[in-house]
Every structure is written in C-alpha cells, then in structure tokens.
Amino acid sequence: MNRLSRDARFRWTALFLIAGGLALVPWYALQDSFFDFRWLGRLGGKDQAPALLQIASWGKVWLIALPVLLLAVMGLYARPIEPHRAAVGAMRSWGRSVALLGGVGALYVLGQGFAIGPRGYATDWLSALLPPIAGGQFGMGAGALLVAFGFTLVCADGIASMGYFRGDRFVATALLSVTALVVLFVFFPVVRVLWEGLLGQDRALSFAAFWERFSQPKLWALSWACLWGGSGCGVAWNTLWLALLCAAGTTVLGLLLALLVVRTQFPGKRLIRLVTLLPIITPPFVVGIALIMLFGRAGIINELLEWAFGIPPTRWIYGLPGVLLAQLFAFTPVAFLVLIGVVEGVSPTLEEASQSLHANRWQTFRHVTLPLMAPGLANAFLVGFIESIADFGNPILLGGNFGVMSTEIYFAIVGAQLDQGKAGVYSLILLAFALFAFWLQRRATARKNFVTVSGKGDTGLASPLPDGVRRTAFAVGLPWLALTVVLYGMCLFGAFVKIWGRDHTFTIEHFVKAFSIDYGTHGLLFTGAAWHSLGNTLLFSLAAAPLTAIVGILSAFLIARTRFAGQHLFEFLTLLSFAIPGTVIGVAYIFAFNVPPIEITGTGLIIVLCFVFRNLPVGVRGGIAAFAQLDRSLDEASTTLGAGGATTFRRVLMPLLKPAIIGALIYGFVRSMTTVSAIIFLVSGNTELATTYIIGRVINGDYGVAIAYSATLIMIMVLAIVLVQWLVGARRLGRRSAAAPGLGSAVAVGG
Amino acid sequence: MTTTANKGTLEFINVVKDYGTGDPAVKSISFRVEDGQLVTLLGPSGCGKTTTLRMIAGLELPTAGQILLGGRDVTTESAAARNVSLVFQSYALFPHLTVMENVCYGPTVQGMKKPDAIERANAVLKLIGLTGFESRLPSELSGGQQQRVAIARALVLEPAVLLFDEPLSNLDTKLRRHVREEIRELQQRLGITCVYVTHDREEAMAVSDQIIVMEQGRIAEQGTPGALFFSPATAFVADFLSEANVLDIERIEAPDVPSGQCRVRLADCVFDVEAPVRAEARRLALRPDIFRIDRDVSAAGWVRFPVTISKSAFIGKGVEAEVTLSDGKNLFVFLAGERQPLVAGQAIALVFSPSDARLIV
Ligand SMILES: Nc1ncnc2c1ncn2[C@@H]1O[C@H](COP(=O)(O)OP(=O)(O)O)[C@@H](O)[C@H]1O
Ligand SMILES: [Mg+2]
C-alpha cells in the first residue's frame, strides 16, 4: 500500500509539472527576468503566453503534440498495472509504453526547439519534408523546462516500472536528468564549437575552409626559435612546448616538495602545506603581477642589477620564460597535492624488503620507490599539462609576442576579426592536445595501478632518501618556498603603495577606489568601482556551488552505486569537461547558447551553468572516492528497511558523505570565484565578474586596484571556507571513528 | 506439494541468477520454506548462498524464474516494497545514527509517526536485551551488541521473513554459540520465518529446522539436520556435513537379500545396507565416527575388517587415524574415547554397524 501511494505521488508530480508547464507559465524565454513575476499579468501576450495559448492564439501549431502526449500518458496512468495480479510481462510492456511516451515527450520539446527557429524551419530539408508553418519561435522558457522535466519523470517512471534499477524511480530520474544536463551543457557545446570550425563563409560544410584555418603557418611554423619562445614559431608548437615544460617542471618540483614534507626532518612542513593551498584561492594574475613587480623592466631585481652592476634592464620576463615561471609558481602546488598522497602511499615494507636484499638507498629509490610512484607522477604530469594549455591569465599578462592557443582563441572572438571558424579550429586543436595527453597518461599507467597501501600491518619505517635526492629537494624546495612568500609579500606591498615602482608611499586609496561606501540621502551608497562585479561574482558562485555539489554527488552515486548499460560513457561525459580548456568551454557556450532554443547569452544563468559544468569533474571524482569508502551494504540495509532511493540518499548517504559534499561545495565556490578563462566571453555589462574587472585594471596597468581587489577576494574565500567548515562540520563527525573522506581527495584531483 | 501459503511461506521456482559472467551464480533452484521455520542455506564459499539470500530480499532480481512470498509473486517487486528484512554480515548499522535512530529508521521511512516508532523500537530493544543503549552510536558498542542492534532493526518491521547472512562470522568463537542459541530461541518464540546462510555445518545443524545444501549454484539436497547427517543421498553432502569416507563398492545381487536392503562388498567384507533413495547409487558413505576398535565386544551383525594404521593423532576427545584397508583403499576414522594415538604400521581390526553406512550417488 505504501508503495502504491509512493508511485502514485511520483506520477501525480509528473502530470502536474507537464500540465502546469503547458497551461500556466510562459512557454518562451522572457526578455526581462522570470522572477519579477510581471508576466503573471500578461499571460495572454504573444511573448508571455503559455503553450496552450500559443497553440490556440499565436499559431504555434507544432506544440499541439505535447498536450496530445500528455493525454496519452494520462490514459496509461488511468489503468496502472497491479504487479501482483498482472500476467507475466504485462508490467514490462506497460512500463515500456510509459517510458516511450515520456521519452518522446521530452525529446519533442527539445527537437521542436532546434527544428523551428525565429524564421521557421531551421534547415532546408526540414521545410522540404514537413508541412509549411507560419512564423517561428525564439528561445524556450520556464514552460518548456517544466514540460521537458515532467516528461523525463514519466520516462523514468516507465523505466523503473520495467524493473530496471530495481524498480527505483529516484535512480532512473537521476540518471536521465544528469545525462540530459551533461549532454546539453558539456557535450553539445563542445560538438557545436568543433562544428563551427568545419563551416565555410557561406555556413556550408567545407573541408577546404577547415584545412585553410588548420594549416596556417601561424599555427605550425617550426624553427629553432621554438625552444626559447622566439618569434617565428607557430602558436600550436608554443602551446605544446610550454605545456610540456610546465608539466615536467611542476611534476619535478611537486615531487621534491612532497619528498621534503614526507621523507625528511624538514622543520617548515606546515608552511609548505599552507603555501600550497594559496594558489587554489588566488585569483589569476596575482602571480603574474608579482613576477612583473619582481623581474619586470621596472622590477626590483632589475633595478638592483642596474644600480649595482649597471646592467640595463631587459624585457625577458615577457615571453616564454615569464609565462613558464608564472605557471610553475601557480601550478606546482597542484602537483604537490597530487603527489603527497602518492609519496605517503608507498609502502615502507617494500623499501625495507629492497634494502634487506642489499640494495643501497639510491638503488632502492631508483628501482622501487620511483616505479611505485609512476602512476602518480603520470597523473601529476597530466594535470600540469592540462592546466598549462588551459591557462589564460598568465599568457595574456606575460606573453608579449609569445602567443598560445588560449589567447589566440580569445583574440579570434573579441578582436576585430571575429572569426568564429578560426576559434572553432583552434579549440579543436587545443581539445586534441588535451585528449592526447589523457590518452598518453592512460596508456602509460594502464598496467601499473599498483595498490601500494595494503591496509594493515604496514608498520615499517620509510627508508631515508638518497643523499643526492635529499640535497636536491632542499636546494630546490627552499628557494621555491622563499620566492613564493616573496611574491605574495610583494603583492600585499603593491596593494598598499601609491604607484608601484615609482611612489612607494603608504596608501589605502586602491581599496577606497574599489570598495568605498558613501552615505547619501538614500542611505548607504556602494560607490566603489568594484562592488558591482563583486556582488555578481558572489551571487553566481554561491548559486553554482550547491548545484555543482548536487549534480556531482548524484553522478558519483550513479557511477559508484548502480549498474546500467553505457555506464562508462556516462562517466566519460561527466569527466569530459576536465579535459576541455576553459577558453574552449567559453567559446563553446557562446556558440551554443546565443541562438534559440536555449538562448541565454548575456544572462547570469549562462555563467552559473558554465561554473557548474566546468567544476563538475571535481565533484564527481571526489564523490566516487567517498562512495568507495562507504560500504554498499549501508544502502542495501536502508533499502530492505523500506526506504526508496531518494530517502536512502537523503537520510543515509548524504550525512555520511558530508565531508565530500563540503569539499565539493568549497571547491565549486572557490573555483567559480577565481575562474577567468571560461567566462571571459560570457560576461556582459550586467554580469561583469571580479576576474574580468581585474583583467580590465591589469590591462590598463592599474595594478594597485587589481591587487587590492585580489587580496579582498582571497580574504572572502578564506572566510567562506572557515564558515562552511564551522557551519556544516560540527555535528557528530567528531564522534565517528571512520576516517572522513572528501576534501583532500577532491582538491587533489582538482587541477 | 501443498498449495496453502501463510504470511511467511517462501517459494523459489526454477530461479536462475546470471551476473553476466557466463557461469550463472545460481542455476535453476526450486525450494519451499514453510511458515515459521528456520531454513539454512549451507555450502562452501562461492556456491551462491548470498546471491540466493539477496534475491529473497529483492537486492538482486532473478534472471529467470519466480519467487513467491506468502503465495504472492514478488519476483520483480523492489526490495523496499518487500516485507522481508536482512541482517547483514557486516551488520551495516548506520554509523551516524544512534541505536534508537537505527531501529526507528525502518518504521519512520515507511511513514510511521515518530512516537509510535519509538514505542515499537523500545519493545524490540527490550526483547533483544538492549535497553539502556538507546543513545549510543554503533561505534560505541561491542561486536555482539552491534549484532543485536542489527537484528532489532530488522525485527522491528515485523517482516514476513527474516534473513541472516553469516550472522556469526564477525564474532569471536566463544560468543558464537551463545548468539546462535539466542537467534534460535528468538525465532521460535516469535514463530518468525527465517532464512539463514552459513558455511559452518555445525552452526547449520544447531539452528535449523531444514537445511538446504548448495553446491556450485545448485541445490544438492534439502532435509532436516538429522536426515542429512545420517542419511545423505549424495557424496557432496556426505562429505560436507560429516566428512564421511566415500568409497566405491560393488553391489551384489542375491536372492536372499531382505527387502529394503542391498548387498555390497567392501574389501573382503560382504554386508547388507539400507536400499538407497536413488537406484543408481554405487558408493558407500562411512562417517568417521561410526568405527570402533574391535576388542571382541562388537554386537551382532556388525561388520569387522582388518586395517593397517598409516597415521594417527590424539585430539583430546578421541583419536583420529588414517587406515588402509586390505584392498589398498584409505579410510579416515575417529575413535571416540581412545586415550593413546595408534602406532603407525600396526595392524588392527575395526568394526561398524551396517545401519550407519549409506549408499549414495
Ligand atoms: N555482483 C556480482 N557480480 C558478478 N559475480 C558475482 C557477484 N556476486 C557474486 N558473484 C559470483 O557469484 C558466485 C556466488 O557468490 P555468492 O552468492 O556470494 O557465494 P556465497 O555467498 O555462497 O559465498 C561467486 O562465484 C561470485 O563470484
Ligand atoms: Mg556469502
């Protein structure tokens, strides 16, 4: 009885969503905000009318299929099958019909949107094939969303009734929804941007056009100059060479630091751990600006050299060396976070075994320790590579004449040229680099996934490092640490002096300029120049973080806890955006979402969606790691006690996954606050963000405000992290003996 | 087969479970559990016991076949909807909930009001002897106490069938006997149908009304503990339940064999044993504990045969020995009450009653 009422509730919800979406809310996207609810008074209007009215009064006859499908679903629901009394297979075929109707409904909403644009049929063959229609339509809105979701629920109900997912509607719904979202907001935009590269001037498919864009010497010119970033070297080679150097450099540095922390008596371990967290909450440009302050033409080092030895300052920092240096500082901590777990995971027993076989320290390190760490090293290398090719802030700040793909894509879109095809082809190349790196990493570690942590009985002492390795670790790690501290110190200094490099009198005018508050006749006035962008950034990041966590944990649940055909493909899709450089995602989003049926360019929604799906892989991976530590019998116990999937998720899994969820929340928030490459194309005057505002200041040479703003952002993020930990983390976790999985792993795989 | 079915009657009809590995984990099994009985699934590791249990619970759906509960087909019914509770091998207590919250979980997710749920939980906790522990977290309980919470959590729903998956495997040896007695006592007091999984034959015989012995995804035999122990029909069950010696023998047709008996020859001895259930039986099962050393005290009709000792050890409650028959066959025997190991190479005579020997396939 309980079960029936639960199913019935689910079905009523689906029907209400569809009916409401058809009859009560505007079908199309509104010019102004949905949430001011002014449309309530104008539901008869051409733009605001719900679907039923659109069919009746405004000639949108093609929508008629949706109410018809709704009636069909209601017909099936009116005669539900009683599983206990039905003949064998009757339940299955009933479920199949329901699933089919639901699927057709959801796809029809989407399909008609793509098929019929503002000027009627979107393509010629559609007009040739289908009856003529008058007029067209613009982007879909709330009504379409509700109806599509309602039909998705119906489809899930059908699938569950057929007996899949152990008959659990929640799981079926989650799978369909997440798949639809990921296909729509990751897969579709990426395919769309690549497609753009294949279109000629007349927007017809043209391989010649593709080849022309692809084969430019600007991309592929190869000369000795490539090695030191000189001119005359193709942009593609620049990108690749920079990424290789960056990946190798961050991996070596990260390994040395990890060895320093785990395997030596170095006293500053806590400092290293602290410093390695900084880049995660540092807005882009900060490292670059600090490098300019230090090594630039007017930088301290150059001034010193000129003053002491009369060496004239040069501009060497602008180009490959500067970009590489900035990337090394920015991304080494990420490699460190990946590798510290790896170094800690090498079982001392194995090293002791090696030494008991008369291998000396170096032989042990070389033949046992290093090979055991190989998969971890490959992983760190991959992350460094991807970070480098996706990096936008450092090349644009320090690149000078040294162009890389991400900046070229930017100029193809925002420059005078506005060459979409070029942006498409460049994106394709960048994506190919990223996927190639993934493939290499997979291949390199395919048979080498050693389990080095065996659980119990690993009580041996880690063997001391060979002297050479230890000395190198100190010789490289300490200067790195010192320089990082100096760099951040410089930044702080820059925020509080008048004009950095010329007038070093103390001032807080940069903060005042950005964040002043006046008291006027209407009360408080936020007159500071940065308030607008800060407000947007906080709003969008706060909206994106919980969404990232929800979609991420749900995806992880589906991957870790259920079985379905195409599961590997599903996992690949959810993790895909990790391999897609931010610039490519940004370009992809404008191409995909500036035309109907999903027309959201210029809104805050597109930025939030971009945040969510760009940060999704971290949520997913963190979630999978956390699920791996939760015994499956806990879910099953809950199920046998009569809880459905949703209840189990809410009352058993969520509380136990709290650390992973907090990790995903914090990560989603922080990454959104600091991201620039992906959203640089997506912001409009209304939706300016902190990072884009900072770019503007940097490009104007207004470093003071840029740094003051960055420092403020860092403070906000630190406060947010502390607050979240304090709010969510207090209750009961302390009394539990089980180790809390989550944040550590989530950040480590973040990249 | 009767057709009446009470609340707790459970029936499997030609159930198959294939995980897609090529070799089905469960290969077309059929059995029936009567209401109020405790039935044990017994078999070596990997024979499909847990899979069968999980199909009863609804955690796995059968690839083919039908499952009836209380006479109703529940084959495709979801685990949440089935009136069946499972006590997990690892207990699977929710670590973030107290004992009381764990026990109340089932009733509340099924829509019962909190006060009613607490009342019922209190009754069950009292029944199981856990009063006073309500506000502890599972991590603050001993293994035995956690086990009881797991049982209380399953019992509070008053399920039609209660399932146990190797419930004693996480307890130390001393506690095992105690807990198994408690489970049996509770089951009989409440008259609840139970399906119990174990690989320990002693445990199975101690708690069960019926035992279903499984072998590689099939049911080898089903019966009461006594029937399976004393008169197995298959070599597998004879070996698994009593470590019986299984010997090929020669059947002798003769006119003077009493009805219901078969005449067989083992080594030099010819004797009559009870006729087998399956006519094709050509092997003899001889439990190790049916033998005595012949000290000219053997009762009438006992079989006497000479053997040579090859190995022997004293194990406290008696002496174990491996002996060789005159035709070269080996036997493993247990001689209760003997106080000295036998000397290897020594020739002695052993006796047993032919009524303790079984013809099997
Ligand atoms: N989820 C699964 N996927 C594939 N094979 C499984 C799965 N669960 C069990 N098996 C296989 O099915 C067989 C029976 O397993 P199980 O029922 O757990 O045995 P038992 O409980 O008797 O030890 C084993 O061979 C096991 O490897
Ligand atoms: Mg088992």
pLDDT, tens digit, 9 for 90 and up, residues A714-739: 888 888 888 877 776 544 433 333 33
Measured in angstroms, the CA of A653 and the nearest CA of chain B are apart by 9
CA distance B171 to B178: 10
Q: Does residue A744 surpass a pLDDT of 70?
A: no
Which structure tokens are listed for A425? 């082809």
* CA–CA dist A737, B287 (Å, integer): 49
Mean pLDDT over the full length of chain A: 82
Residue A366, pLDDT score: 80
Asked if A737 reaches chain B (Cβ–Cβ under 8 Å), the answer is: yes
The residue of chain A with its CA nearest to that of B84 is A640
> Tokens 């309530």 correspond to what residue?
A40
Of A2, A167, A652, the CB nearest to B94: A652
Task: Name the strands in the sheet holding B318-325, side by side, starting at the edge strand that comes first in the sequence.
Answer: B292-293, B347-352, B303-314, B318-325, B330-336
Of B61, B74, B80, the CB nearest to A642: B80
- Residue whose CA is closest, atom 26 of ligand 1? B46
A452 touches chain B (CB under 8 A): no
Taking the alpha carbons at both ends of chain B, their separation in whole angstroms is: 25
Which of B13, B58, B239, B281 lies closest to B160 in space, CA to CA?
B58
Alpha helices in A368-466 (DSSP H): 370-390, 393-398, 405-414, 420-445
The answer to whether A735 faces chain B, any CB pair under 8 Å, is yes
Instruction: Return the minimum-mean-pLDDT range out of A175-179, B77-81, B259-263.
Output: B77-81
- Predicted local confidence at residue A455, as pLDDT: 37
Burial class (CB in 10 A: 0-12, 13-18, 19+), A459: exposed
Every domain of chain A with CATH number 1.10.3720.10 lies at 235-453+466-493, 531-728
Question: What are the pLDDT digits (tens) for B8-55?
Answer: 899 999 999 998 888 999 999 999 999 999 999 999 999 999 999 999
Radius of gyration of chain B (CA): 25
Six token digits for residue A678: 């992906």
Report, in angstroms and rounded to the nearest whole number, the Rg of chain A calculated over CA atoms.
28
Query: Are the beta carbons of B88 and A3 separated by less than 8 Å?
Result: no
Residue of A nearest to B59 (CA): A636
Please state the φ and ψ torsions of residue A498, each to the nearest 5 degrees.
Answer: -60, -70
Q: At residue B186, what are phi and psi to the nearest 5 degrees?
A: -60, -45
Indicate whether A577 pLDDT > 60.
Answer: yes
Nearest alpha carbon to residue A645 among A74, A154, A156: A156
- A74 or A366, greater pLDDT: A74
A448 CA from centroid of ligand 2 (Å): 31
d(CA A647, CA A652): 8
- Token reading at A279: 């880049």
Residue A49 is predicted with a pLDDT of: 87
Confidence of residue A251 (pLDDT cuts 50, 70, 90): very high
Q: Crossing angle, helix A90-115 and helix A65-78, to 10 degrees?
A: 170
| Dist. CA A209–CA A211, nearest whole Å | 5
Judge whether A197 is closer than 8 Å to chain B, CB to CB: no
Domain A235-453+466-493 has CATH 3.40.630.30: no
Q: What pLDDT shows up at residue A74?
A: 93
A739 in reach of chain B (CB within 8 A): no
Residue with the bigger pLDDT between A379 and A96: it is A96
Distance B19 CA to ligand 1 centre (A): 8
Please give the distance, rounded to the nearest whole angstrom, from the Cα atom of residue B266 to the centre of ligand 1. Answer: 40
What pLDDT score was predicted for residue A420?
81
Judged by CB atoms closer than 8 Å, whether chains meet at A639 and B59 is answered as yes
**Residue from A640, A653, A732 whose CB has the most chain B CBs within 10 Å, to mutate:** A640
How far does residue A740's CA lie from ligand 2's centre (Å)?
28
Residue A480: pLDDT band (50, 70, 90) is confident
CA B358 to chain centre: 20
A644 touches chain B (CB under 8 A): yes
pLDDT at B212 over 90: yes
Token reading at A603: 């809104």
pLDDT digits (tens, 9 = 90+) for A39-54: 887 777 888 888 888 8
Q: Is A44 exposed, middle or buried (0-12, 13-18, 19+ CB in 10 A)?
A: exposed
DSSP-assigned beta bridge partners for residue A503: A499
Give the closest residue (by CA) to ligand 1 atom 13.
Answer: B25
Strand, coil or helix: A520? strand
Mutate to test the interface with B, among A641, A651, A735 (most CBs of B within 10 A): A641
- Tens of pLDDT, residue by residue over A373-419, are 888 888 889 889 988 988 888 898 888 888 888 888 888 887 766 77
Q: Take atom 21 of ligand 1 and give the residue whose Cα is closest.
A: B50
Position in ligand 1 atom list of the atom nearest CA B47: 22
Report the b/e string of A543-567 with b at 16+ CB within 10 A: bbbebbbbbbbbbbbbbbbbeeeee
- The average pLDDT across A643-661 equals 87
Domains and CATH numbers, chain B: 10-237 (3.40.50.300), 238-360 (2.40.50.140)
Residue A633 CA to ligand 2 centre (angstroms): 13
Pairing of strands B347-352, B292-293: antiparallel
Q: Among partner residues B88, B110, B139, which is closest to A637 by beta-carbon distance? A: B88
Q: Which of B73, B93, B157 sits opposite A642 (nearest CB)?
A: B157
Residue from the list B78, B95, B157 with its beta carbon closest to the beta carbon of A166: B78
Q: Which tens digits make up the pLDDT trace of B277-336?
A: 777 888 999 999 999 888 766 567 788 888 999 999 999 989 999 999 988 889 999 998
CA distance A199 to chain B (A): 45
Q: Ligand 1: which of B23, B51, B201 to mutate, most ligand atoms within 8 Å of CB?
A: B51
Weakest-pLDDT range from A237-246, A311-320, A324-333: A311-320
Mean local confidence (pLDDT), B272-277: 86
Q: Does A56 touch chain B (CB under 8 A)?
A: no
Ligand 1 pocket test, candidate residues B21, B53, B55, B214, most atoms within 8 A of CB: B21
- Inform me whether the pLDDT recorded for A456 exceeds 50: no
Mark yes or no for CB contact B59/A647 under 8 Å: no
The predicted-structure confidence for A209-247, as pLDDT tens digits, reads as follows 888 888 887 777 777 777 776 777 888 899 999 999 999
CA B1 to ligand 2 center in whole angstroms:
29
Q: Do A640 and B111 touch (CB under 8 A)?
A: no
**Among the listed residues A649, A623, A646, A614, the one whose alpha carbon sits nearest the alpha carbon of residue A544:** A614
**Pick from A401, A384, A392: which is nearest to A225 by CA?**
A401
Give residue A444's pLDDT. Answer: 75
Contact A500, A703 (CB under 8 A): yes
Q: Cα–Cα–Cα angle for A751, A727, A488, nearest 5°?
A: 45
Beta carbons of A166 and B110 less than 8 Å apart: no
The DSSP secondary-structure symbol of A82 reads -
Min Cα separation B1/chain A (Å): 22
- The token duo for B287 is 């439990």
Confidence of residue A12 (pLDDT cuts 50, 70, 90): very high
Hey, are the CB atoms on A83 and B86 less than 8 Å from each other? no
Residue with token string 């920079």: A242
Residue of A nearest to B109 (CA): A643
Kindly give the distance from the C-alpha atom of residue A283 to the centroid of ligand 2, in angstroms, as a whole number: 53
Question: Cβ contact (<8 Å) for B111 and A2?
Answer: yes
Average model confidence (pLDDT) across chain B = 90
- The continuous run of DSSP H or E covering A348 comes out as helix A348-356
* Ligand 1 centroid to residue A554 C-alpha, Å: 27
- Cβ-Cβ contacts under 8 Å for A145 (sequence gap 6 or more): A21
Q: Which residues line ligand 1 (CB under 6 A)?
A: B 19, 21, 25, 43, 45-51
What is the least distance, in Å, from the CA of A592 to any CA of chain B?
Answer: 41
Of residues B187 and A498, more confidence is placed in B187
Superfamily the domain A531-728 falls into:
MetI-like (1.10.3720.10)
Cα gap A143→A185, rounded to integer Å: 19
A122-131, A394-403, A551-560, B194-203, range with the lowest pLDDT: A122-131
pLDDT over 90 at A608, yes or no: yes
> pLDDT value at position A740?
34
Q: Which residues of A touch B84 (CB under 8 A)?
A: 640
**Confidence band, pLDDT 50/70/90 cuts, at residue B223:** very high
* Residues belonging to chain B with any Cβ–Cβ distance to chain A shorter than 8 Å: 57-59, 61, 72-74, 76-82, 84-86, 88-90, 92-96, 105-106, 109-111, 137, 139-140, 153-154, 157
Q: Give the mean pLDDT of A595-620.
A: 87
Predicted confidence (pLDDT) at residue B196 exceeds the cutoff of 50: yes
